[in-house]
Amino acid sequence: MPPSIHRRQFLAATASASVLLGAAPRRPPGPGQPIVIASANGLRCVEEAMRQLQNGADPLDAAIAGVAIVEADPSDHTVGLGGIPNEDGVVELDAAVMHGPTHSGGAVAALRNILHPAAVARLVMQRTDHCLLVGDGAYRFAKMHGFPDTNLLTDEARQIWLYWKETQSRNDDRIPPPPDQLPPFIKAFFGPNYIREHGTIHCSALDSHGDLGCTTTTSGLFFKIPGRVGDSPILGAGLWLDNQLGSAGSTGRGEANLLNLSSHTIIEALRQGKHPQDATLEACRRIVATNHLKRLQDPKGRPNFDVRFYCLTKDGRFAGSSLWAGAKMAVHDGHSARLVDCAPLFDEPPPPDA
């Protein structure tokens, strides 16, 4: 076998070993039914997380193992490897985790060259007295704990970024390829369903003991300003849980969730006795109510962007909501993984380039 294959296998093994760093010991099953939910790009995530729960994994460890599959999937351009880079062509990842039984959390932001940011976030939670490490500090922390370097910019993501750069202005010297020479994946990427804030993965897991864990991990807004951090690594915005009530997370326009601490809002709505469906719709309504800037409104004054929320309660109920129609979420109830509809606040598809 050529040495390059050995090297690739070695790197893959090291990367997957790094997902396990900090995982808790397994415990015998409890009396309850485990449930896992995730955003719509998380069908394989919920399958893996459920497999982990059924083997006695801690709910946070199960969620991290689930999203690790998507972090390592080069075809998902919104998370980890293959994520769309910032405007300089560099992939910067954000992720956070929360652990129900200890009510603790950790996060990393603007992390470069590390494949599994959610697993690094778990170590921030466990091996520091902090909740958030960013940029070079987060990278050096990950290296210190044995995470290998990974080039996160795939050739496909690089070509998408280059085309974006070449089409930004008529007043510069870059010339995009003629339309008939564009690779199909670039046409597909910038097609009619193109949404800049699309993607990110959130996963919440409930184990058979009634304990919760969750994570949100992303490469963030496509072509973002270098250093831009969204909601995903911010506890209360991109995810939140209370082990007595439930777990919630979001995908979509991070700035809207940062300005409303939407995931925290959802759990507080559960505390008031709301059903998870009403709790997630409440977070959508808050965004509409606080979205005062004209540049972020459609002609009817509604948000010209989308956000999506996911919620799993301690007693195993779950629901998702979105501002606009068409969103789905992934669910595994112990029998099968499937996609279910999120309830929209507005019964129309998202505005173009939302």
Q: Which residues bind ligand GLY (CB under 6 A)?
A: 197, 200, 218, 220-221, 230-232, 251-254
Instruction: Locate 218 and state its tokens.
Output: 């992303």
Do residues 352 and 67 touch, judged by C-beta distance below 8 A? no
3-state secondary structure 298-327: CCCCCECCCEEEEEEECCCCEEEEEEECCC
Distance CA(79)–CA(199), nearest Å, equals 7
Q: Choose, from 150, 200, 215, 218, the residue flagged as catalytic.
A: 200
| Closest C-alpha to 80, from 124, 41, 23, 136 | 41
In the complex, the smallest distance separating the C-beta of residue 237 from ligand GLY, rounded to whole angstroms, is: 9
Q: How far apart are the first and last CA of the chain?
A: 48
Query: What distances in angstroms separate CA 321 from CA 39, 45, 60, 209, 245, one per listed residue?
Result: 11, 20, 23, 27, 18
In the complex, the smallest distance separating the C-beta of residue 260 from ligand GLY, rounded to whole angstroms, is: 13
The H or E element spanning position 202 is: strand 201-206
The H or E element spanning position 233 is: none
Residue 354 DSSP one-character state: -
Q: How many CA atoms lie within 13 A of 272 on its CB side?
A: 11
Catalytic residue check, 200 = yes
Distance CA(263)–CA(298), nearest Å, equals 24
* Residue given tokens 């959390």 in the structure block: 105
* Residue given tokens 């969204």 in the structure block: 230
Greatest Cα-to-Cα distance within the chain, rounded to the nearest angstrom: 65
| Closest C-alpha to 107, from 237, 278, 210 | 237
Q: 10 Å Cβ neighbour count for 246? A: 28
Q: 10 Å Cβ neighbour count for 167? A: 12
In the complex, the smallest distance separating the C-beta of residue 232 from ligand GLY, rounded to whole angstroms, is: 5
Residue 182 DSSP one-character state: S
Strands 328-332 and 337-341: antiparallel
Active-site residues, by number, are: 200
